[in-house]
Amino acid sequence: MISIIKKQNMLTNEATDELKEVSDALFIPKNKLIINYENPLGNGICSTVYRGFLSGPSPLIKLTGLIETQEFLDCDVAVKVALHFGDDEVEQLFREIEAMKVLQYNRNVISMLGWRMLNGKPALVFELAEQDLLKYAKMLLSIDVKDFPYKTILSILWQIAKGMEFIASKDIVHRDLAARNVLLTHDFQAKISDFGLAVINNSGMKETQLPKRLPVRWLSIEAIVEKLFSEKSDVWAFGILMFEVFGLGQDPYAGIPTGNILSFLRSGERMSRPRLATNEMYELMCRCWEENMEARPKFEELVPRLHTLLEDEAGCSKYYDGLEFLPENEER
């Protein structure tokens, strides 16, 4: 894989060496990975995701040395296989591997366990999740409004904000935060996925060369106009994600042509409050959609705000928060 990327003159020698180092550390031998091609878990523009099984310890265990990654041993996995291996696919592959090298492990970020080549195309191996947040939100259309799982939704949003706070702390801008790219485990642990558009070591500067495909309906005004991406543009996308969830999977700016979205936003208009969002939730969305990026909250501000709302909804949960932060010899 490294030789193919180098032939395409996509990386400097130094960057190639760095990619080879982390790629070698994450390489999965062929006999350790079994893939079920019969029932794909999902299909995208550039890749297909299959269920698989990884024998033995995942490379991530050795790379991080963390106790939290010990579960990735003899486990079911999701295998993301590129449909093509052109320039765009190489670029997205590099971004995902590079982001993995920086992020390594966080409970609210999907873990990449390793990679290998399959039939001349790259395959990235991830921890397995049950479904994505968009499908879950659309599934809620079938339930009675009075049964809407508000506490569960608050917990999911709080976890996403925590994951994004961690990502931002590593100077990474996701650029594709949306309900479709948040995965949920069986116990509703939220995990941010798909770093194919991520900007690594971001300095809040304008990007001169943009990917061919960007999620325009999730982009902030400055991202559309100035090609400026930062934590604050991810915060804008988080507000759109909140709209998706409380709108039960409704498309952002439904009924408005993509070419008209910028003029709609610049006129001061914003999407209306989804029926299932409280006034407090909608106010939080609108804060994320401030035209002046400096007026938007950071994720480190959104996390405690959502946690307070979750505490209020859950009642006594606040009495149990401190235990995980106590040193081991102080636990009772």
Q: Which residues are catalytic?
A: 176
Strands 131-132 and 121-127 turn out to be: unpaired
Cα(251)–Cα(63) distance, rounded to whole angstroms? 39
Q: Which residues contact 9 (CB under 8 A, 6 or more apart)?
A: none
User: Can you state the percent helix, strand and coil of the chain, rounding each to 5?
Assistant: 50, 15, 35
Q: How far is CA 150 from CA 156, 288, 313, in A?
A: 10, 20, 8
**DSSP element (H, E) containing 42:** strand 42-43
Phi/psi for 327 (5° steps) reads -55, 150
Sorted by sequence, the CB contacts under 8 Å of residue 105 that are 6+ apart come out as 60, 64, 66, 68, 69, 111
